[in-house]
Structure formats: structure tokens, C-alpha cells
């Protein structure tokens, strides 16, 4: 033993004998409050280490502090499953063999359940998958409001109503984060279309911003306690969202007092000074063969890399700005990567498939069911023909960053075959092109005609035809970075559907899409199901509903207009959608979705909140606890609802309020409360809602209410109103 070692050992012995122990640094001690740990870690870091945390170190991770044993942050898309591993420096897939995940139903389907319990199950299960894959941030949920049916990413969002989206997002975030994985709520804000998404300057009033576009984000931040947000690509009032003072600093961080981390969308940062000063924390995807296809830059060349360090050292940006960013990032790391209480997670297990099937079954919407065509009574049919490419197509691939590599995806054809066996035959009927980035691969006309004729030929022999069509995840359909170019169905499906119904056979239509579509044949088709992108259990869930094993209870989270011009954004022409390629004006203001249809008396094809059941529900008269309300009081509304049909079912009781006397324009009515109730055959339950003055507010330089009469509308959809009552606000 050399002298140095001897001395060291003697010192240690002495310390032990005198009771002095080596202290665990506070930041490593998880019995200490997080804020103390953050402070301690921050005090040990160099400026360079803090800056390194503020930008990417690979396509999907940002740096920790290796010297202090503080790990990096690993991220993954989101929002319907955990995306396959992507290469360190480019968008190629890494080719792992253990990263095939569970595909959960798309968020439109989750919103269509109108059941926050489903959101909790969803968040918890997807969080377990993210945790198992050792991710610290899952890039989801998506929360942008459904403004136009052409938006290619609507399927990743939760519909057109801020209240519905708010109620549904909170449990998703909580369930996900219970795994020690941060939600990254995206795309904040006003990313309501994909056309020109990188630069379009959205001009929207404060009122529409507050009443329509921000409430769900606020709910995710304040009630859900989301640990991170993703800034969007577009501009708002002349400034990119990721560098935007109003959105990030003023509203999200100051007004909502939110303590999380703002991550850019990939390539969404545009300026060093503004992004640092205005509230951005982590910059992702700027260079190195990313969205900007620039390989000669390194991660240090990011806006929040060396350029940032220089401006800090020159005193152009105060160190306190960097300290705030680093504190937020450390807080997130303690909540996630360094959280030792988090569970271990699990991946592609039966429990997750069960969650998928349950949510899909509750989210499928029965749009139409003339003469009780559904559920299918299999004993009546010998030959059931499934027609349509979506009957067999892999719909978890494609669509952009939300695409998934899955371990299992049950197609509708497989689901139906499992149920009806040899009675089932199949004809493709039409064909979509291969996915080619930036354009559509057009299928030759003669191929389409051959497929059409084959289907017609087989249909002659069938006594039930189930058409499974809709959109898919190809470019210019339900796909990131592109919007749809037409409202109608692609690949000649309209003609095929019309030709099939003209045969006067029993026909059921299953539409798979994340968007409303034009339905020129709607009157002729007796039964229509809106089936969304349902993920791993798609076919089983569709078969459950078609066969009656599951009684449908989904309700539309957005309006289906008859024609595109009936939609508010499209009503005002190009400057409203998609803009003049530089800027756009949201001229419909607060009248988005059903608010527009109701106020302007434009009858939709299918209304917001619509969805049928195999049973029927009778609503009793709503009773109010009082007929007047004051600023400090509330009114309870009780509505008895009875299942009057022949089977058990679930109904979503919806309560809307209209402000009948107001100095500003208000929508005819707005959703303020809802509840999904399970009712056995013959059973009655009373649903109770509490209305507070907050439910009556509008935004006009602050939240306000005006005295006067209000109408309460209770219904089974926004158009199927079963009871009305009025009260007065004094």
C-alpha cells in the first residue's frame, strides 16, 4: 500500500469514527423536495453544461450532465403509440427488432368515446409502453382544434370543441405521467392545418384564441399538470410559435404559472435571442439531416447552442434566462429519467390490446342505422362480402410522425372472418397508390376499373355487403405535412358505393378516417359506421360493433358538413383557409364547427355529438334547482334518462348553454357539460350537472359575463335536443 492510499484510508477511518459521513448531494437525494434538488444541481453546473441541455444531441434526445450523473432526455413520438427507434442523426429507422409497439386508437377515436375513464386507461397504457422503451417524453397528445376537414392531422387531435378536448386530455396526461414519462402536449398553438405550416402567420382574435384554441392546452397544463409542451411550426401575429412571447412567456409560463419545459417542434426554432427570451427551453430537429436537410451543421450550431453561449457571454441575454431554462429541464429530468419511484412499464401485452379494443369499441360512432340494419343477424346471411381496400390495409403505417411499427394489427377483414368464418368473401374494389412523400402515386385507371368490376361481380352473389373504405395515411389524406385536396372520398369509392347500393342489396358502410368526408350516397346507404384509425385491435373492435357484441356509444367529436363550403373556415375563402401562403385570417372567429352551423342555421350531414345506439333512450324533463343565478351561486340541472330499447347501452347526455341576451356575438349554444351513463335495458338514471357562472363567460379583454337570460339545451347530440329550460343571471 503506498503512502497516499494509507493516508486516505486513515482519514476515512477517522471520519467514520467521529461520525462524519460522506453526504449524498442534495440533487441525488430523492427524499428531498424536487425544487431543492433543482437548485442544488443548478449550482453545480457550468454555463456550457446548462446550454448543452437546451438543444438536441440527436434526432430524439437532448443532453443531461454526464459529469454529475444527470441523464439525457429521450423522446419518442407519440401520440398513438411509441414510434420505432430512429437513427441518432437522421430520420431513418434504426432497424431494431424489439421496438414493435401496440397501436392505440387515434385520438379522434378517444375523443369520440366522450368518456374520460377511457382517457385514463389510454394514458396509463401508452405510458407503460413508453416507460418500457425507456422514453422520458412521449410526444403527445395532440390538441389542435378541428377547424377544417381538410387538415391532414386532425386524426391526431381531439375534435372541434374546446370543452370536450379539455375534459378528455386531462386523464390522458395524468395516466401517462403516472409512469414517470412526460406528456408533450402539441402543437402549441394554432397549428390547424398542414399547408404552409412552417411559416403561415395565423391571425386570430384574442377572443377566439381564448374561447376556442387555448382552453384544452390550458387544461392539459393546469389541471393535467403536463410536464412538457411542444411549440408549433406556424407563426402567430408575426412571430413563430416557438419564439412567440405571447404564447410562451405571457400566457403559458406567466399567466398559467406552468413549470414545465417547452420543446420545439422539429425544426421549429428560428432565432437565438427571441426563443431564449420568449420562453423556449429545448430546441429539436434544427439541423443535421433533419427537416432542414443540413448535414454540415452540428448540434452545437443550433440556435440554442454556441450562438446562445456567445450571446450569454457577451451579456446580450441574462444568465437568469439560462438558469430558468436549465431549472425547468432539471425538474423534468427529476420527474422522469431520475424518478426512482416510477414503475417498470410493459410492452405489447394482452392488457394493452384489451385497452385498445375497449376504447375502440366505445369510440366507434353509429352514424346511421335505418330499419335496424345493424347489428348484423348472421343467421339471415349466407354470403357476406367485404369490399374495400381499408378492409385489409395496414393503417398504422404512414401519416407522418405518428406512424407506428406494430407487433399486431387486426384488419377489419380478419376481425370479420374470425366472427363469420367461411361466410366471408372479399373484394378490394379500388386501390390506393404507394406512399410517396410529397405527392400521390396514381393508380392506372384500368386497374381501378378491373377492381371495381370484380367487386360488382362478387356483390351479385352476396346477400350482405360490408364496404370498408374511407381515407388512409397517404400523402394528401390523413397525413402530416399535407392537407387533403378534396372533401370527397378518393380512388373512385363514391362511384363504387353508389353502384353497390343500386343493386338494392343489404349494405353496411364502415368509414375509416380521421376526418369528415362528403357523402353523396348517404341517403341510399342504410347503415354507416364511423370507425376512425383504431390501431392494433381495429378489426376486432369493428366486428364487435357490427355484430352487436358491443353496443355503439361513440359520439362525433366534430361536425360532418354536407359540403366543404358549409364549414366556417372555408366559407370565407382562401384568406381564411389555407391563407395566401404568408398569412391567414380566422374570419369565422369563435364560430368554429357546430357553433357556426347552429348560429348560421346550416344543417350538417352529421352533427357534433351525434351517435346512435342499438337501444333507445328517453329523456325526462330537465329540472333546475333555481331559475336565477348570481355571481356567487350555481344551479343544478337534473335529467332522468331511461333505456327504453331492447338491450343494455350507454348514452352521452350533453348539456349546452346559449346566451340569449348579450352585447357581443355568441354561438347559439356551447357544450358545457356531458356525462356518459351506462343503462341496463329498462333502467333509469338521473344525470346531474352543476352550472356555475364560469360556464356563462365569454372573453372580451378578460373573462366576462353579462346579466340576462340563458337557455339550457339537454340532448343526445348538438342537434337532437330533448329538453330546454331557461334561467336568468342577475
Which residues of the chain form contacts with ligand BGC (CB under 6 A)?
A: 77-78, 139, 186, 265-266, 401
Residue 151 or 668 with smaller CB distance to ligand BGC:
151
Catalogue the active-site residues.
265
* Nearer of residues 188 and 710 to ligand BGC, judged by Cβ: 188
CB of 401 to ligand BGC, least distance (A): 3
Percentages helix, strand, coil for the chain (3-state, rounded to 5) are 35, 20, 45
Return the residue nearest ligand BGC (CB atom): 401
| Phi, then psi, of 296 in degrees rounded to 5 | -80, -10
CB 268 → ligand BGC: shortest distance, Å? 8
Q: What are phi and psi of 500, to 5 degrees?
A: -70, -45
Give bridge partners of residue 530 from the DSSP assignment.
365, 511
Q: Which residues pair with 101 in a beta bridge?
A: 406
CA 670 to chain CA mean position, Å: 21
Closest distance to ligand BGC from the beta carbon of 184 (Å): 8
- Nearest approach, Cβ of 351 to ligand BGC (angstroms)? 26
Interstrand relation of 182-188 and 201-203 (parallel, antiparallel or unpaired): unpaired
Q: Using the minimum distance from each CB to ligand BGC, give the nearer residue, 77 or 128.
A: 77
Residue 522 contacts residue 361 (beta carbons within 8 Å)? no
- 252-273 burial: b if 16+ Cβ within 10 Å, else e: bbeeeebbbbbbbbbbbbbbbe
| Of 265 and 651, CB closest to ligand BGC | 265
Q: Please, which residue, 124 or 197, has the CB nearer to ligand BGC?
A: 197
The CB-of-164 to ligand BGC minimum distance in angstroms stands at: 21
**Three-state secondary structure along 39-68?**
HHHHHCCCHHHHHHHCEEEECCEECCEHHH
Please tell me the distance from the alpha carbon of residue 220 to that of residue 143, in angstroms, as a whole number.
9
What is the distance between the alpha carbons of residues 150 and 153, in angstroms, rounded to a whole number? 9
Give CA–CA dist 87/95, Å, rounded.
Answer: 9
Q: Between residues 78 and 149, which has the closer beta carbon with respect to ligand BGC?
A: 78
Beta bridge partners of 62: 56, 73
Residue closer to ligand BGC (CB basis): 539 or 578:
578
264's enclosing H/E stretch is: strand 261-264
DSSP conformation class of 644: -
What's the CA gap between 322 and 423, in Å, rounded?
Answer: 66
With contact defined as beta carbons under 8 Å apart, do 686 and 640 qualify?
yes
3-state SS string over 651-683?
Answer: EEEEEEEEECCCCCCCCCCEEEEEEEEEECCCC
**Residues across the chain:** 730
Q: Which residue has the cell 378528455?
A: 168
Nearest distance from C-beta of residue 561 to ligand BGC, angstroms = 26
| Residue 476 or 672 with smaller CB distance to ligand BGC | 476
> Toward ligand BGC, which CB reaches closer, 265 or 659?
265
Task: Give least dist CB 153 to ligand BGC, A.
Answer: 8
Q: Are 360 and 125 in contact (CB under 8 A)?
A: no
Task: Name which of 658, 689, 653, 655 is nearest 672 in CA terms.
Answer: 655
Grid cell, residue 427, equals 373484394
C-alpha cell of residue 467: 364496404
Query: In the bound complex, what is the minimum distance in angstroms from residue 213's beta carbon to ligand BGC?
Result: 17
Closest CB 437 distance from ligand BGC, rounded Å: 12
Whichever of 402 and 411 has its CB closer to ligand BGC, that residue is 402
Least Å distance between CB 139 and ligand BGC?
4
**Quick check: 462 and 489 in contact, CB under 8 A?**
no
- Give the shortest CB-200-to-ligand BGC separation in angstroms: 14
Q: Which three cell numbers stand for residue 37?
A: 434538488
Q: CA-CA distances (angstroms) from residue 345 to 196, 350, 630? A: 38, 14, 49
User: 425-462 in b/e burial notation, b at 16+ Cβ within 10 A?
Assistant: bbbbbbbbeebeeeebeebeeeebeebbeebbebbeeb
Q: Which is nearer to ligand BGC, 197 or 666 (CB)?
A: 197
Cα Rg of the chain (Å, integer)? 27
Tell me how far apart the alpha carbons of residues 54 and 63 are, in angstroms, rounded to a whole number.
8
Alpha carbon distance, N-terminus to C-terminus of the chain: 88
Amino acid at each position: 500500500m503506498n503512502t497516499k492510499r494509507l493516508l486516505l484510508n486513515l482519514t476515512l477511518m477517522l471520519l467514520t469514527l467521529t461520525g462524519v459521513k460522506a453526504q449524498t448531494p442534495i440533487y441525488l437525494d430523492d427524499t428531498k423536495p424536487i425544487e431543492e434538488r433543482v437548485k442544488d444541481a443548478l449550482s453545480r453546473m457550468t454555463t456550457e453544461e446548462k446550454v448543452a441541455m437546451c438543444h438536441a444531441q440527436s434526432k430524439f434526445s437532448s443532453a443531461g450532465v454526464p459529469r454529475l450523473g444527470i441523464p439525457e432526455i429521450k423522446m419518442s413520438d407519440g401520440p398513438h403509440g411509441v414510434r420505432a427507434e430512429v437513427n441518432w442523426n437522421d430520420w431513418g429507422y434504426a432497424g431494431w427488432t424489439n421496438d414493435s409497439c401496440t397501436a392505440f386508437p387515434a385520438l379522434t377515436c378517444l375523443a369520440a368515446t366522450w368518456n374520460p375513464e377511457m382517457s385514463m386507461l389510454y394514458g396509463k397504457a401508452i405510458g407503460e409502453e413508453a416507460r418500457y422503451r425507456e422514453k422520458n417524453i412521449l410526444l403527445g397528445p395532440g390538441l389542435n382544434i378541428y377547424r377544417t376537414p381538410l387538415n391532414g392531422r386532425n386524426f391526431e387531435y381531439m375534435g372541434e370543441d374546446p370543452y370536450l378536448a379539455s375534459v378528455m386530455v386531462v386523464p390522458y396526461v395524468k395516466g401517462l405521467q403516472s409512469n414517470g414519462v412526460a406528456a408533450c402536449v402539441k402543437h402549441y398553438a394554432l397549428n390547424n392545418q398542414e399547408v404552409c405550416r412552417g411559416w403561415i402567420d395565423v391571425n386570430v382574435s384574442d377572443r377566439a384564441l381564448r374561447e376556442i384554441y387555448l382552453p384544452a392546452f390550458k387544461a392539459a397544463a393546469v389541471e393535467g399538470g403536463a410536464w412538457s409542451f411542444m411549440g408549433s411550426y406556424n407563426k402567430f401575429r408575426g412571430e413563430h410559435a416557438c419564439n412567440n412571447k405571447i404564447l410562451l412567456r405571457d400566457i403559458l409560463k406567466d399567466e398559467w404559472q406552468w413549470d414545465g419545459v417547452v420543446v420545439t417542434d422539429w425544426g421549429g426554432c428560428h432565432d437565438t435571442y427571441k426563443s431564449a427570451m420568449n420562453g423556449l427551453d429545448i430546441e429539436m430537429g434544427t439541423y443535421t439531416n433533419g427537416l432542414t436537410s443540413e448535414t454540415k451543421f452540428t448540434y452545437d450550431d443550433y440556435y440554442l447552442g454556441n450562438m446562445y453561449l456567445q450571446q450569454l457571454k457577451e451579456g446580450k441575454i441574462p444568465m437568469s434566462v439560462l438558469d430558468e431554462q436549465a431549472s425547468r429541464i432539471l425538474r423534468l429530468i427529476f420527474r422522469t429519467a431520475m424518478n426512482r419511484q416510477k414503475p417498470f412499464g410493459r410492452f405489447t401485452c394482452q392488457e394493452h390490446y384489451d385497452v385498445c379494443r375497449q376504447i375502440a369499441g366505445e369510440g366507434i360512432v353509429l352514424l346511421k342505422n335505418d330499419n335496424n340494419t345493424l347489428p348484423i343477424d348472421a343467421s339471415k346471411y349466407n354470403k357476406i362480402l367485404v369490399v374495400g381496400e381499408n378492409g385489409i390495409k395496414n393503417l398504422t403505417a404512414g401519416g407522418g410522425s405518428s406512424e407506428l411499427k406494430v407487433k399486431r394489427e387486426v384488419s377489419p377483414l380478419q376481425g370479420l372472418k374470425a366472427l363469420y368464418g367461411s361466410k366471408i368473401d372479399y373484394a378490394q374494389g379500388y386501390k390506393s397508390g404507394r406512399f410517396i412523400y410529397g405527392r400521390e402515386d396514381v393508380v392506372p385507371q384500368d386497374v381501378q376499373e378491373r377492381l371495381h368490376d370484380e367487386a360488382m361481380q362478387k356483390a351479385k352473389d352476396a346477400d350482405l355487403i360490408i364496404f370498408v373504405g374511407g381515407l388512409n395515411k397517404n400523402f394528401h389524406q390523413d397525413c402530416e405535412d399535407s392537407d387533403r385536396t378534396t372533401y370527397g372520398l378518393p380512388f373512385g369509392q363514391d362511384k363504387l358505393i353508389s353502384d353497390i347500393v343500386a343493386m338494392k342489396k343489404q349494405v353496411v358502410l364502415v368509414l375509416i378516417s380521421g376526418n369528415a368526408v362528403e357523402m353523396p350516397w348517404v341517403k341510399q346507404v342504410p347503415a354507416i359506421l364511423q370507425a376512425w384509425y383504431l390501431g392494433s385491435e381495429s378489426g376486432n373492435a369493428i366486428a364487435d360493433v357490427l355484430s352487436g357484441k358491443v353496443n355503439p356509444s361513440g359520439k362525433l367529436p366534430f361536425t360532418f358538413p354536407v359540403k366543404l363550403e358549409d364549414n366556417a373556415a372555408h366559407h370565407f375563402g382562401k384568406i381564411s383557409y389555407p391563407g395566401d401562403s404568408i398569412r391567414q385570417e380566422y374570419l369565422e372567429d369563435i364560430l368554429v364547427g357546430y357553433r357556426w352551423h347552429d348560429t348560421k342555421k346550416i344543417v350538417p350531414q352529421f352533427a357534433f355529438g351525434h351517435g346512435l345506439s342499438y337501444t333507445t333512450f328517453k329523456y325526462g324533463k330537465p329540472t333546475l334547482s333555481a331559475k336565477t343565478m348570481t355571481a356567487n351561486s350555481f344551479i343544478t340541472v337534473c335529467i332522468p334518462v331511461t333505456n327504453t330499447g331492447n338491450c343494455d347501452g350507454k348514452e352521452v347526455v350533453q348539456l349546452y348553454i346559449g346566451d340569449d341576451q348579450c352585447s357581443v356575438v355568441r354561438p347559439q349554444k356551447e357544450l358545457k357539460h356531458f356525462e356518459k351513463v351506462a343503462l341496463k335495458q329498462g333502467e333509469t338514471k338521473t344525470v346531474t350537472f352543476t352550472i356555475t357562472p364560469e360556464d356563462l363567460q365569454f372573453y372580451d379583454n378578460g373573462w366576462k359575463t353579462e346579466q340576462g337570460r340563458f337557455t339550457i339545451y339537454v340532448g343526445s347530440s348538438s342537434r337532437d335536443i330533448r329538453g330546454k329550460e331557461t334561467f336568468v343571471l342577475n
